Chains A and B, each alone.
Chain A
Amino acid sequence: DAGVIQSPRHEVTEMGQEVTLRCKPISGHDYLFWYRQTMMRGLELLIYFNNNVPIDDSGMPEDRFSAKMPNASFSTLKIQPSEPRDSAVYFCASSPRHTGELFFGEGSRLTVL
């Protein structure tokens, strides 16, 4: 398996623009997680899905952030409008089972100018 695939790997945008990050989880994994990593706050859980259904989005910072999982092989994290404080590395991870280990993608590095 190719592992968790994220795109784009790098995104530079200007404040106010819409940003869409994409994730393809490992086939057969029932859980999908979106994390954000910064030097100041480390790895923070934003939202997770089970069988394509959002289960907990308490980590989503504000209404500018939204996530969807239209099918088992695709998820998006959207920021609209983006702000400089959203600059971070966004990771997608999938897991084959409850309490199982997480398989992370390589991340999408977002810079908002």
Chain B
Amino acid sequence: SQKIEQNSEALNIQEGKTATLTCNYTNYSPAYLQWYRQDPGRGPVFLLLIRENEKEKRKERLKVTFDTTLKQSLFHITASQPADSATYLCALATNNAGNMLTFGGGTRLMVKP
């Protein structure tokens, strides 16, 4: 079965720096991969979706890369702000139909002023 790994340790960075979070998976490459943000006591919020034929995708200060050879996605937040502090989850489909999302354990990001 597909296993999704995210760094369970919190990532602490200084405001203004670039945060880079990693998502690794073990088996077949999914058709697409998604990233979500979750704040304490709230539901996850969708951020970006990247397809297997896309190497990179950007949205404002966010950038996602998808390397099917390495079986890895990187999530970057440039010019980070304290308001970016949250847990970030990656998710990929694990069924043939492509609509059953399995989530990684998430990485907590702390941006210090």
Contact = CB atoms under 8 A, between A and B. Distances in A.
Nearest to B45: A104
Interface size bucket, A side?
20 to 34
Nearest to B106: A42
Nearest to A48: B100
Interface stretch (B9-17, B19-27, B59-67, B90-98): B90-98
Contacts of B32: 99
Interface in B47-97: 49, 89, 93, 95, 97
B75 to A, nearest CB: 15
Contacts, number: 47
Contacts of B106: 42
A45 interface: yes
B2 interface: no
What bracket does the count of chain B residues touching chain A fall in? 20 to 34
A93 B44 CA distance: 9
Nearest to B4: A42
Interface in A86-113: 91, 93, 95, 98-99, 101-107
Interface of B: 31-32, 34, 36, 41-46, 49, 89, 93, 95, 97-106
Given A91-B44, A102-B101, 8 more contacts: A42-B103, A43-B44, A48-B100, A91-B43, A99-B93, A99-B99, A101-B49, A107-B43
